[in-house]
Structure 1
Amino acid sequence: MRDGGTVAVIGGSIAGCAFAAAAVRAGAREVVVLERTLGRLEDRGLGLCVHDERAAELTATGALPAGIAAHRLVRRRWVVRDGSGTGTGAPSAGPAAGGRVIWEQPFPFHSYHWGLLWRGLRDGMPAAVDYRQGETVTAVVRAGERAEVRLGGGGAERYDLTVGADGYRSVVRRTVCPESRPHYAGYVCWRGNLDARRAAALDPSGGEWDDAVTTVCFPGGSCVVYRIPGPDGPRVNWVLYATPPPGALGLDDPASDPTSFPAGRLSPELTEHLAGLLAREFPPYWAAVLSLTEPEDTFVQPIYDLETPRTTSGRFLLGGDAATVVRPHNTSGAAKALQDASAFETAWREAASWDGLLRGYEEARGPAGRDLVALARRLGRAQVERTPPWAAMNERDVEAWWREQLAGAAGIGGGSMEPAPRES
C-alpha cells in the first residue's frame, strides 16, 4: 500500500512484538504497541519449541531474529514406567530408572526460553515502534473507516488498523468475533522448570538424553520433558497433562471466564494430586527430576481451545492466540504467532488497500489456524482424554497410533507458509 497508515497492536508479548516489527517493515507510518503489563515480561520462565524448518522460514522473513539462545533437539522418546522402583525419592540405578522406551521418533526442533525469545523480539523491534507498557485497553470499536481504541485511563485513540495480539482473553476478539470464546477441554497441564544442574546429579544416562524430548506416558495423561536455555544456564522444562481433582479449579461451569493459576500458588489439593501422579505413574528417574522443581516455578494451566470463523472485521485483525487458541500438543504456538505476523507483512505488501490487506491475511491464516485447532484436539484426546494401553504397545503399535492421530497432517510444529506445489 502506498499510504503507510497508522497501526495499533494490542498486546506486547511474542505475537505483539512480531506484528509491530512486521508493520514497520511493510511501511506503516506510525506503529503503537499497547501492553497492559508493567512488569518484566521476560521473567516468564516457560519453555517452547519451534520446528527447524519453521525457524528457517521465519528467519528468512525477518519474523525470527537471529542470535536468540536455543537448545537443539533431534529425537522424541516415548517411555512408560516399567515397574523398577517406586516413589519420588532417589531413583534406582541404571537406565531402567528412566523407564522403558516404547518408541523413538525424529524431532527436528529447537527449544527456547519464553522470556529470552520475547527479549530477542523486543530488542530487535524497530526504533520507530512506540512500545507502551502499563496501558490497558478496555474496548475497541468501529469509528467510520478507522478503529477506535479505548484506554483504561479514560482516553481514546484512533488508528487505520488495530491488531489484536492480546492472547486467549482478547479484547479485540470481542469485536471481531463476539460469539467466539475459549472452551475448557476438561483437563490441565502442570508446568514447571528447574536448573538443569540439579537434575544432572540424578541422570542415570550420563547426559545421553540432552538432545531428546521425553514423553512419559501413563493412563489418563502424558508429560513432556526437555532442556531449554535459561538466563543463568540450561534448565529442564516439563509439561504434564492430566485431569485435575473434581471441583479443584472451579472450571466446570461453561460460562466461567478462561483463566490460569500463577506460579507458586498451587493449592495443597493440587500439590498433593501432582505428587500422587509422580509416585504412581512415572519412572523413578523422571519422578525425581520433576520433584526437584521449586513451588515458585510450578503452576497449573487449564487447557482451552478456540477457533474463530474469521480473523478480520472492519479495521480489526487477530493474530496469535487472539485468533485461535490451540492446545499445546501441536508444539506450534510460537511458530504460529510469528507466521501470522509474516503473513500480515506479505498481505500488506501485496495489497492496494486496507480491504485487500485484510482479505489477503484472512485467506492465508484463517484456514491454517482452524487446521491447527483440529489437530490439537485429536492429539489431546489421544494423549490425555482417551489414552491407549501404552505399556502393552510396541514400537510398531505406537507409530501406527501416532500416524492415525495426525490423520494426514505432515506432522506437528505447524505447516509451511509456502503453498504446496500444484500437480501438473
Structure 2
Amino acid sequence: MRGGMIAVVGGSIAGCAIATAAARAGAGEVVVLERTRGRLQDRGLGLCIHDERAVELGASGALPEGIAAHPLRQRRWVVRDDAHGTGGRVIWEQPFPFHSYHWGLLWQGLRESVPDSVVYRQGETVTGVEESGTGTPGAGVRLANGSVERYDLVVGADGYRSVVRAALCPDSRPQYAGYVCWRGNVDAGRLADLGSVADSAPEAVTTVCFPGGSCVVYRIPGPDGPRVNWVLYAAPPQDGGLRLDDPTSFPAGGLTPELAGHLAALLDREFPPYWGRALALTAPADTFVQPIYDMETPRAAAGRLVLAGDAASVVRPHNTSGAAKALQDATALADGWRRCGSFEELLRGYEETRGAAGRELVALARRLGRAQVERTPPWAGMNGGEMEVWWRGQLGPATGIGGRAMTP
C-alpha cells in the first residue's frame, strides 16, 4: 500500500517508532502531534528490553543501532537478614537476559531516526478525535486551538490518557491497582561510598523482597555515566496526598513530606541496610511516585483509528515489556502497510495480532503484581526451589517476562 496521510498523536517512544515505521513502509505523509513543548530526553527513567526482543526489533529496524544499553544477566532476590550482612540474604537467582536503557537516551535515538519526511510538531495538544462520516473515509483530529485536521489514518500513541482511545474504546479507562511505585536513580559511582561489596555484580538485577511489596534495582546508562535505577512497589500512606483517580505521577522533586517520610521509614524497616542506604542516596529531585494502573481494551484498531503502546493497553511495569511492546506495535503496522492493499485489511490484521498481545501482557502483569505486591509470600522462609515454583505460578501460560516473539 502506498500513499495516505497519517497523524500520529504522541511523539515519545511509541510515537517516534510508529512515525518511522509508517514513513519507511510507504505512507505518503506522516505528521506527529506531540503536546509537550520541552525536552523529552530529560526524562531519566530506566527501562529494560529482553535480548530476544531486541534482536527481533533490531532486525525490523524498529530499534536503531548505537543507542546506549547496559547488559543484565541475572536477577537476585534478597531479603533482610542481619546475620548475612548489610547486603541481605540471597534466596534465589534466576537468568535475566535483558539490556537496560535510559528513557531519554532511547527516545533521543528513536527521534533521531525519524525520517526527514516526517513532520514532527511539538506543542500541539489534541483534544479529540472523530471518524469521518459515511462515504468520507478517514478521521479528524481536533486541536486545542479549535481547528480540525483530516487524515486517512490516526494512530494513538498518546499513552495512559489517550484521546484516540477515548474515541475508539470510550468505555476503557485505566483502573487503579491498589498500590504505587516510588522511582528514582542515582550516580552509580556513589555506591562506592557505602563501603560494601553488595553491588559488586553490575550485570545483576537485585529484587529486595519485603511483606507487602518489592523493589527492583539495576544499572542503566546515563548521559554522564552509569546510574543505578530503582523501582519500589508498595501501598501508599493514607495521608500521602496522592490523587488515586488519575495515573499521573508526582513529578520528580514534588514529593510531599508525608510521602518522603513514608519511603524513608520503609527503607529503614524492611530493607537490608546496604540497599536502604543505596536508595537513600537518591536526591529528592530524582525521586517521584506513580500510582499503578492497568487497562485492557476490547480492540486496538477499527475504522481509521489505531492504538499503540500504552494507549492500546496499560500494563503494570512488573512485566518489563513496555518499550518492546511499543516497538513491536510499530513493526506490525509497517509489516501490514507493506503487505495489505487497503486500510481495512491493514487494521484488521493489526487488531488480530496486536490486540491479543496487549491483553495477554495485561493479564500477566496483573498476576505478577498480585504475587509481588498485593499478596506477597513468606519470602524470608523460602528456598530456591520454592521460589522457582512460586515464579512459575505467576507466569501461567506465559514462558517468561519481557514480552513474546511477534506473531507474523
Q: Is the Cα–Cα contact under 8 Å of residues 8 and 34 in structure 1 kept in the other structure?
A: yes
The Cα of 1:201 is off from its aligned counterpart by 2.5
**Whole-Å Cα distance in 1 between the matches of residues 280 and 199 of structure 2?**
19
Match of 1:194 in 2: 186
Rounded to whole Å, the distance in 1 between the matches of 2:185 and 2:51 is 23
Q: Which runs of 5+ in 2 are unaligned?
A: none
Aligned residue for 1:406?
Answer: 395
1:303-351 alpha-carbon deviations (Å, 9 max, x no partner):
0000000011211100000000000000000000000100111111111
- 1:403 is aligned with what amino acid? R
Amino acid at match of 1:171: V
Tell me if the contact between 1:184 and 1:251 (Cα under 8 Å) persists in the aligned partners. Answer: no
2:356 corresponds, among 344, 367, 385, to: 367
**2:110 pairs with 1:114:** no
Aligned 1:160-171 pairs, distance under 5 A: 160-171=152-163
Greater mean deviation of Cα atoms: 362-371 or 144-153: 144-153
Mapping 1:294-313, distance limit 5 Å? 294-313=283-302
Structure 1 unmatched runs, 5+: 85-94, 420-424
Is the Cα–Cα contact under 8 Å of residues 239 and 258 in structure 2 kept in the other structure? no
What does the per-residue CA deviation read over 1:362-391, in whole Å, with 9 as the maximum and x for residues that have no partner?
011001100000000000000000000000
Give the direction of change, closer, same or farther, for the CA distance of 1:269–1:247 in structure 2 (3 Å limit). Answer: closer
* Deviation for aligned residue 1:209: 2.0
Q: Determine if contact 1:187/1:242 at 8 Å carries over to the other structure.
A: yes
Deviates further, 290-299 or 409-418: 409-418
Flag as ranges the 4+ runs of structure 1 deviating above 3 A: 249-252
Confirm or deny that 1:392 pairs with 2:381.
yes
Counterparts in 2 of 1:379 and 1:249: CA distance versus 1, 3 Å: farther
Q: Does 1:147 align with 2:156?
A: no
What does 1:67-78 align with in structure 2 at a 5 Å threshold?
67-78=66-77
Distance verdict in 2 for CA 1:131–1:327, change over 3 Å: same
Determine the C-alpha separation between the residues in 2 that align with 1:268 and 1:275.
10
Distance (whole Å) between structure 2 residues aligned to residue 17 and residue 200 of structure 1: 38
Helix, strand or coil for the counterpart of 2:406? coil
Q: CA deviation at 1:418?
A: 4.4
1:239 correspondence with 2:239: no
Residue 258 of structure 1 corresponds to 247
1:91-240 equivalent positions in 2, closer than 5 A: 96-143=85-132, 144-202=136-194, 204-205=196-197, 208-240=200-232
CA distance in 2, matches of 1:365, 1:309: 11
Please list, as runs of the form range in 1=range in 2, the aligned pairs for 1:283-298 lying within 5 A after superposition: 283-298=272-287
Aligned match of 1:87: none
Indicate conservation of the 8 Å contact 1:46/1:114, yes or no.
Answer: yes
Letter of the structure 1 residue corresponding to residue 22 of structure 2: A
User: How many angstroms does 1:35 deviate by?
Assistant: 0.3
Deviates more, 1:331-340 or 1:257-266: 257-266
1:380 pairs with 2:379: no
Superposition map of 1:270-349 within 5 A: 270-349=259-338
**Aligned equivalent of 1:92:** none
3-state SS of paired residue (2:260): helix
Q: Distance in 2 between matches of 1:357 and 1:299?
A: 40
SS of the residue 1:325 aligns to: coil
What is the CA-CA distance between 1:202 and the residue it aligns to?
1.8
SS of 2:219 mapped into structure 1? strand
Write the letter of the residue equivalent to 1:387. T
Aligned positions, number: 405
Q: How big is the shift at 1:251?
A: 4.2
CA shift digits 1:95-141 (9 cap, x unpaired): 72111000000000000000000000001111111000001101111
| Residue 42 of structure 1: how far off its partner (Å) | 0.3
Q: Distance in 2 between the 1:311 and 1:272 partners?
A: 41
Q: Distance in 2 between matches of 1:399 and 1:413?
A: 18
Cα contact 2:198–2:274 (8 A) shared by 1: no
